[in-house]
Amino acid sequence: MANGGSLKWWVLFTVIIGTFLGRLDQTIVNLALPKIIDDFSITVTSAGWIATAYILANAVFVPIWGKLGDTIGRKKVYLLGFIIFIIGSVLAGLSWNLSSMIVFRIIQAVAGSADYPTAMAILAVTFDKGKERAQALGIWSASFAVAAVFGPLIGGPLIDAFGWRSVFLINLPVGLFGLLMAWIFVTESTSLKKTVSFDWWGAIALGGALASLVLVLDKGIDWGWTSWQSVACYIAILIFSAIFYRIETTHVEPIVDFKFFKLPVFTNVLINNFIVFMAMMGSFFLIPVFASTFLGYDATQTGYLFIPMAIAIMVAAPLGGSLTGKVSARMVIMGSTFVSAIGLFMFLDIDVRSSAWDLIIPMAVMAFGIGFGMSQRTGVIAAVVPDTEIGVASSILALARNIAGAFGVALFATVLHNVTESNLLSIARNSTLNITNALQYHEAIALMELQAQVSAYRTVFYVAGFVMLLGAITAWWIKVSKSAEMHDKEVIIE
């Protein structure tokens, strides 16, 4: 097992490459959609399925890979996922129409979903001391946010210079490098508890519930939240969830063991993580839109705005991890989440005259808070769950993050849409236009729409700030019990 000298840090660097590559792919493809639309001669609505298919497949397979990693070997699953991801990336880069693109994106997503649960389990086994483990998990967790930040930064110039296919084909050389490192540095590990009967029916039921949930969250705004399509998804979610719960509570080796939810620490970290990521992902997907729509930034310029944010996360993650064993986890998580809320509230002054720094500083503050608490959240999960089931537990954490992001985007996009309409009606009711010139009339209407939209963005960040504050409050209940002292995990007891 790679737990000696500098070798363990090479293991960390190795899994960071895989995580970074998978998450980068999710963000960078969105920049390529306009070019893909033109090349395939498809509508924007149709192109939306390129992203939706990826999200659906990724969410469904995360728990399955986590269970398989604990069973047949984390290195085997990690390498298998990496190989399939590279193949899917090349195929996506060679796709010839929308149907082929969707199929190859699903292949990418299925493979990419293997990364999180196996990577976390690999790191938890490699770094078996509490403080080092917290630092390693914190640095690794930061790669998620860094990848999301660098997506626009790398994607813009890449697409402009080499076309949209390059965002997929670039995964071949980088992926092969990461695959070689994983082969060399990562040692095999499995759960001591061997699987006798894999829970395939539970996996299918979970897949149905998650697919229905993510689908309605992604398409609900377009369909309408009370449309027949949305209602059908709600019914499917309830049915599949009931079936899944029934299977999991009776199966000898469930995909998701509900006993984890009997651990107050596990459940409270999950709740805190869900709220924090909902606020972060739900509000921050609007920043590139605001920068391009109201400030006139192109994709590359927008990417530059996120560089300080990436730096803040990378600096904060190891700093937060270094406090393990010195400051209680709940205080670190609570304080860092509060800082993130302050960052979101700093967006309340944005308008069409905002400078780049008016966006950079709030993003950096928010990101520093998120990064500072990352290692503590993942470290607590790794501390309270037996090493034999870290893969399954981490897959639940990843699933919560994915669903939280989808919830956040759906929630704040709906808030933005509804508040914009409400603002426009309010402005219209309280305005009198003494204009006879048609051109001036249209200019006045455009200014009213602009004011309504910008004010709606402020409302979104206002709501997101309070959601993040709620996350800070929930951190109070993250209390690590004495049972977490097992295996020399160096967890602070409260």
Residue 90, domain CATH: 1.20.1250.20
pLDDT at 421: 84
Phi/psi of residue 304, nearest 5 degrees: -60, -30
For residue 275, is pLDDT > 60? Answer: yes
Quick check: is 493 in a domain?
A: no
Could you tell me if residue 58 is inside a domain?
yes
User: What does the DSSP assignment read for 35-47?
Assistant: HHHHHHT--HHHH
Confidence of residue 488 (pLDDT cuts 50, 70, 90): very low
What whole-number distance in Å separates Cα of residue 85 and Cα of residue 382?
27
Say if residue 190's pLDDT is above 50.
yes
AA identity, residue 480: V
Please report whether residue 494 resides in a domain. Answer: no
Residue 210 lies in a domain: yes
Is the pLDDT at 382 greater than 80, yes or no?
Answer: no
Last residue of a domain, one of 252, 274, 297: 252
Whether 484 has a pLDDT exceeding 60, the answer reads no
The pLDDT of residue 186 = 81
Helix (H, G, I), strand (E, B) or coil at 115: helix
pLDDT at 41: 86
pLDDT (tens digit, 9 = 90+) per residue, 434-464?
666 666 656 666 677 778 888 888 999 999 9
Secondary structure tally for the chain: helices H, strands E: 18, 0
Residues near 277 by beta carbon (within 8 Å), at least 6 away in sequence: 400, 401, 404, 405, 408
Could you tell me if residue 2 is inside a domain?
A: no
Over the Cα atoms of the chain, what is R_g? 23
Task: Kindly tell me if the per-residue pLDDT of 97 is higher than 70.
Answer: yes
Residue 282 shares a structural domain with residue 228: no
Q: Is residue 1 part of a domain?
A: no
| pLDDT of 29 above 70 | yes
**Residue of higher predicted confidence among 367 and 62:** 367
- 92 and 143 inside one domain: yes
Residues 404 and 371 in one domain: yes
Give CA–CA dist 213/218, Å, rounded: 9
Of the spans 44-48, 103-107, 147-151, which averages the highest pLDDT?
A: 103-107
- The answer to whether the CB of 82 falls within 8 A of the CB of 33 is no
Mean of the pLDDT values across residues 62-67? 75
Same domain, 225 and 127: no
Taking 60 as the threshold, does the pLDDT of residue 336 lie above it? yes
For residues 272 and 353, state if they share a domain. Answer: yes
- 357 and 230 share one domain: no
Q: What is the pTM of this model?
A: 0.73
Q: Whole-angstrom Cα distance, residue 281 to residue 370?
A: 11
205/290 same-domain check: no
Residues 121 and 237 in one domain: no
Percent residues over pLDDT 90 in the chain: 15
Residue 211 belongs to a domain:
yes
Q: Are residues 440 and 397 in the same domain?
A: yes
Same structural domain for residues 152 and 263?
yes
Residues 288 and 358 in one domain: yes
The torsion of the CA quartet 272, 278, 279, 285, rounded to 10 degrees, works out to 150
Question: Average pLDDT, stretch 146-156?
Answer: 72
Asked whether residue 430 falls in the same domain as residue 354, the answer is yes
- CB of 475 within 8 A of CB of 272? yes
Query: Rounded mean pLDDT of the chain?
Result: 80
Q: What is the pLDDT of residue 194?
A: 56
Can you give the residue range of the structural domain that contains 84? 7-198+253-488
What are the E-state strand segments in 14-169?
Answer: none
- Number of structural domains (the chain) is 2
